Amino acid sequence: MINVTKTFLPPQNDYQALLKKAWETGWMTNRGVLVQELEQKLKEHLQVPNVIAMTNGTLPLQIAIKALGLKGEIITTPFSYVATTSSIVWEGCTPVFVDIHPEYLTIDETKIEAAITPETSAILATHVFGNPCDVEAIEMIAKKHQLKVIYDAAHCFGVTYKGQSIFTYGDVSTCSFHATKLFHTGEGGALVCQPEYYNTMYDHHNFGHDGPEAFHGLGINAKMSEPQAAMGLAVLPYMSHICARRKFVVERYSNGLGSEDIQLLKLRDGVEWNYCYYPVIFKNEAVLMKVKTALEKEAIFARRYFYPSLDTLPYVDHSEPCQLSHKISACVLCLPLYVDLDRQDVDRIIKIINANIC
């Protein structure tokens, strides 16, 4: 069986050696030595000013909305994982959807200003499949209208734009360290923010504590545990190997899937990509289902990702559907992509797709 992804597991001895540190201290959570070490190494690896490690990739979004004091409407994309929209609603704000760019699949920056109202407090945009939004245009719009900017950068570990970490753009960027991600801690995530927000974000993820007996203000528990941090520390040294192997698979797909009947992801100029996903957009949903069924007959399981378009969720306003997002979400399929995916299996996937796109 070939799944859409497979978790990279470091040598078990590496993980156990790191866990031994936690056993020796008896310090399993509440920001132990391994969490602190991981944050420092991630700062260095990613070249970012700060990293707050958290227990999953959704809480950073919720904390960013809360800590920035956002109210009213937040402009966002309908083409993302559900956590992007659900975090907005969970924090008592209203998502206002703007359609996506036909090639880059990120929020269409040319349509953002038309969606701004007196109730708008922020833009929450997703770097889709590790492909950055037009961060310069969004920054200009945000400054003009005095809006905060949050980037859901769940897929962006290691991505740079014009030589700079994509996490340094916006007021806050968030990342997922879920087991399916390029870099992972089993379950986990992180938040990177502009320096002036760091203390507030940090307090919010740690119950608002100011020492053991006082509080700065409101907070929740989003802390990463020591076993999670140990996994991250064990995986981090293998990132070059992980990216190189995934690059090999991506390039083989791209060389084999040259048909005009499918659309591949177009990266923005200036992007150093991380090979996190391989989406293929078919000419219609019927072709997608034909390909998906053919793959599944061979025990190959691709994923409809992202599907459905988030402006169809039952708890959001459906009055202005985003037509392009609807079209793309109905026709996009992410192909299997992981470190030890065999070359022969990649070629088999390519052959099945090419035989079923007519």
3.90.1150.10, 3.40.50.360, 3.40.50.300, 3.40.720.10: CATH of 239-356: 3.90.1150.10
Which of these, 188, 251, 205, lies nearest to 42 by C-alpha position?
Answer: 188
Residue 147 predicted with pLDDT over 90: yes
Residue 54 predicted with pLDDT over 80: yes
Q: Residue 6: pLDDT band by 50, 70, 90 thresholds?
A: very high
Segment 95-138, tens digit of pLDDT? 999 999 999 999 999 999 999 999 999 999 999 999 999 999 99
Provide the pLDDT for residue 325.
98
State how far the Cα of 305 lies from the Cα of 332, in Å rounded to an integer.
Answer: 7
276: left (phi over 0), alpha (psi -120 to 50) or beta: alpha
State how far the Cα of 103 lies from the Cα of 131, in Å rounded to an integer.
Answer: 10
State how far the Cα of 344 lies from the Cα of 331, in Å rounded to an integer.
Answer: 26
Secondary element (H or E) of residue 120: strand 120-126
Provide the pLDDT for residue 27.
87
State the chain's mean pLDDT as an integer: 96
DSSP state of 124: E
Residue recorded with tokens 């929450």:
124
Provide the pLDDT for residue 217.
80
Residue recorded with tokens 């507030």:
200
Instruction: State the span(s) of the chain assigned CATH 3.40.640.10.
Output: 12-237
User: How many other C-beta atoms can be found within 10 angstroms of the C-beta atom of residue 107?
Assistant: 32
Segment 288-326, tens digit of pLDDT? 999 999 999 999 999 999 999 999 999 998 888 999 999
Which residues neighbour 65 within 8 Å (Cβ) at sequence distance 6 or greater?
A: 74, 87, 88, 91, 93, 122, 124, 150
Cα→Cα distances 262→45, 254, 266, 348, 356, Å = 36, 11, 12, 17, 11
State how far the Cα of 16 lies from the Cα of 82, in Å rounded to an integer.
Answer: 34
Provide the pLDDT for residue 319.
82
State how far the Cα of 190 lies from the Cα of 184, in Å rounded to an integer.
Answer: 11
CATH architecture of 12-237: 3-Layer(aba) Sandwich (3.40)
Residue 258 predicted with pLDDT over 80: no
Provide the pLDDT for residue 260.
84
Residue 140 predicted with pLDDT over 90: yes
CA angle 348, 277, 161 (to 5 degrees): 140
* C-alpha 92 chain-centroid distance: 22
Which residues neighbour 170 within 8 Å (Cβ) at sequence distance 6 or greater?
A: 135, 138, 139, 149, 150, 151
Q: Report yes or no: 285 and 304 within 8 Å, Cβ to Cβ.
A: no
Which of these, 52, 12, 342, lies nearest to 191 by C-alpha position?
Answer: 52
